[in-house]
Amino acid sequence: MRRLIWIAAIGVLLVAGVLLVRALLGVLGQPPNVQHGGGVEPGAPTRMIQLFYGSRDRVGLEGEDRAIPDLGGEEAMIERIVTEYLRGSRSRIAGFNPAVRVRGVFLAQDGTVYLDLTSELLTRWPRGDGLEWVSVGGLVCSITENVPAARRIQILVEGKIIERPPGAIAIDLPLEPVGFRGFTEDWES
């Protein structure tokens, strides 16, 4: 009789454990390396993107997966990607200050994205060539890798082209991912 009670108790514990694991998998539902972007509501359509930040282990950029709301439309997606990028990374090097905000996005037919950011971009520009390179390159690559129609990025500040930013990278002309892309291991050739 005692043995039968033990078997029943173990059975109940196993069933409870299986139900608990199923419940946790349903709640979590994503691999542990995926971060959820701000504003993702349960049940809302999402899209997986990859944002690029500086590697802590080597020179170059590394991808970080994020789930963001799928708002539909390329310009809305670019704005969401940039907003998410500016939030920074938990484990990689991010140089732009999160106080920078997106004012507007326009995707031209030739693939040029006109990205208008707030003036905090200049007042809080990443200091040092490496941090500047990681910040600008990560932003450009994050947009162009996730939105196929985006080929180059023209950064504007308060609606204006900046001829001389505080750092070494010139942002007065559209930037292409080519100069940044060779320094990452996450892209396929």
Residues with Cβ within 8 Å of 32's Cβ and at least 6 positions away in sequence, in order, are none
The answer to whether residues 65 and 89 touch, using CB atoms and an 8 Å cutoff, is no
**Cα dihedral sign, 175-179-182-188:** positive
DSSP 26: H
Q: What are phi and psi of 147, to 5 degrees?
A: -125, 100
- The pTM assigned to this predicted structure is 0.73
The answer to whether residues 153 and 143 touch, using CB atoms and an 8 Å cutoff, is yes
Residue pLDDT, tens place only, 116-174: 999 999 888 888 778 888 899 999 999 999 999 999 999 999 999 988 777 778 889 99
Return the pLDDT at 148: 94
Residues with Cβ within 8 Å of 7's Cβ and at least 6 positions away in sequence, in order, are none
Q: Which of 40-44, 60-64, 85-89, 152-156 has the highest mean pLDDT?
A: 152-156
The two beta strands, 160-161 and 152-157, are antiparallel
Residue pLDDT, tens place only, 61-75: 889 999 998 878 999
Higher pLDDT residue, 129 or 27? 129
83: buried, middle or exposed (CB in 10 Å: 19+, 13-18, 0-12)? middle
